[in-house]
Amino acid sequence: MGRHGWRAVGIWLVAVAAAVACAVADYGQDVVDQPEDARAEDAAASCDPGVCLRTCVGLGLAGGSCFDGECLCVSGDGPPPDVAGDTTGDTAELDDGGGADTPPPVCDSATCDSACRSIGFPGGNCVSGDCLCGGGADADADVITAEDAPVDDGPVDDGAVDDGPIDDGPIDDGVVDDAPRDDGAVEDAPVDETTVEDAPVDDGTADDAGGTWGVPVCDTTGGTLSDRGLFGGATRLVRTVSVPALGNGRAVRLEITISSRRFLIASLPFDDIQATLQSPGGVNRKFWYHFDGDTSGMLGDYTFFTPWVLPVWWDAAVGGTWTLTLQDDAFSGAGTTLVSWCVAPLDPAAYASTDTGARLASCDSTSRSISDYACASDGTDCEHPLTVQMQVTNLVRASGAPSARIETTHGDASQLRITLIGADGSETTLWNRGAGPLPATIPISTMSGAWMTGRYQLTITDMAAGTSGTLTRFCIEAN
């Protein structure tokens, strides 16, 4: 191989560029366009033997040395320039091992320039058949090679093969997503991959934040609602719980634990208490309004009725803060102790259709005595009201005014006063010493169009002496 063959090995740089990870020499000046005499004058400054050798070895060649101020790389076919004499008959300047000279490779300008750029130089040119790289590349700088190309340079696709499961955006790019991110309104899986629902109703039983339909979310901090004093206004106790986002619900179950109240040795009813539950959307539901409570145990203690199924948040989001408010409206001699309370959003799939207009007939047929009007010896405590409470669990909304059915054996309805506290907390006088027998049904005008689900309290009072009787049936009817 002749001298030009040694100096032109740069044209093979393209083939080895992908394997280069080393630094390249800093030539300090552009030697591409300089004439031979100018390069010779600056030889000492433009070529460092050590840097030249390391550069050529880094390119995968046998070695290299400075020649006329230039760094020349050798491929290993023979000795460096001017070290061994030519074999007789050689026409080139370098020995090729005694055989015929191999024609020197031809330097291609475009290939030379591309090769020089690939190892960190600004460019390269063919000069006298040689590929010369020029332009002061930093020998200590990291070289970006072809092997870096398939690595993704960020969350935006660069057109190459992605280097990992990183989605190139929240919108599907037409291929399989790189990550389990939802690509639109239609779910990719039974469980939503984001915290924002694609539809008003969750598309799976597990919600996005780790909760599940029907599982209670509880507040166990407790607290005491102070008894209202003889002077001053009502007292209040407010507690909150945070329910995870599940989508839109239609009904919730409220479980509340309140200890029985006692004043000295007497058990106290809860007829001075009202309780309200507020949804995350700000809708209030009064589920307790001056109800006595149930009696249980050997001492006949009054208990706070639980659980409740409340449907007033139909097609409304259940995720967010739910607020329980207890209020004491009258002095009783004892405060009220809240132990714990829980909200459980019920799966809307169980309440698929709105039941406005569905027929309701919820009855209590237990016989109870209606005490006659009779005063104590001091002329007080003449009235002895009968109070009956009943829970309606059907999720029914009245299309008009619902009604109450009251059946008794009392011989004189003109002596009776009958009042009802409805599930919505409204109070209605159903009958007030009217003439004739009780009607078959009595409209509850205060609950027209209301949800019927909840607690009802019926009170019957005999207002005149001489007749007693029995309540045999009490029903709440709608539609």
Would you kindly state where each structural domain of the chain is located, as residue ranges?
Answer: 3-146, 217-351, 360-478
Predicted confidence at residue 462, as pLDDT, reads 94
More confident residue, 262 or 57: 262
Gap between the Cα atoms of 66 and 9, Å rounded: 14
How do strand 416-421 and strand 123-127 relate by DSSP bridges? unpaired
Q: Is 233 exposed, middle or buried (0-12, 13-18, 19+ CB in 10 A)?
A: exposed
**Block residue for tokens 């090769």:** 115
- Token duo for residue 22: 């080393």
Same fold, 217-351 and 360-478: yes
Gap between the Cα atoms of 78 and 237, Å rounded: 98
Predicted confidence at residue 297, as pLDDT, reads 67
H-helix or E-strand spanning residue 40:
helix 36-41
Predicted confidence at residue 188, as pLDDT, reads 46
Does CATH number 2.60.120.260 belong to domain 360-478?
yes
CB 389 within 8 A of CB 465: no
Q: Which residues pair with 126 in a beta bridge?
A: 131
Residue 186 has pLDDT above 50, yes or no: no
Predicted confidence at residue 472, as pLDDT, reads 96
Long-range contacts of 414-419 (CB under 8 A, 24+ apart): 414/464, 415/373, 415/462, 415/463, 415/464, 415/466, 415/467, 416/370, 416/460, 416/461, 416/462, 416/463, 417/460, 417/461, 417/463, 418/442, 418/458, 418/459, 418/460, 418/461, 419/458, 419/459
CA angle 32–33–39, rounded 5-degree value: 75
Q: Which fold has domain 217-351?
A: Jelly Rolls (2.60.120)
What is the percent of the chain with per-residue pLDDT over 90, rounded to a whole number?
35
Residue 231 has pLDDT above 70, yes or no: yes
User: How does the average pLDDT of the chain come out, rounded?
Assistant: 73
Predicted confidence at residue 137, as pLDDT, reads 37
Gap between the Cα atoms of 159 and 17, Å rounded: 21
Residue 198 has pLDDT above 50, yes or no: no
| 102-123 core/surface letters (b: 16 or more CB in 10 A; e: else) | eebbebeeebbbebbbbbbbee
Q: What is the pLDDT of residues 408-461, one digit of tens each?
A: 999 999 999 999 999 888 889 999 999 889 999 999 999 999 889 888 999 999
CB 204 within 8 A of CB 192: yes
CB 20 within 8 A of CB 143: yes
Backbone angles phi, psi at 117, to 5 degrees: -65, -35
Backbone angles phi, psi at 416, to 5 degrees: -100, 145
Helices (H), 42-162: 43-46, 49-58, 109-118
H-helix or E-strand spanning residue 6:
helix 3-7
More confident residue, 152 or 349: 349
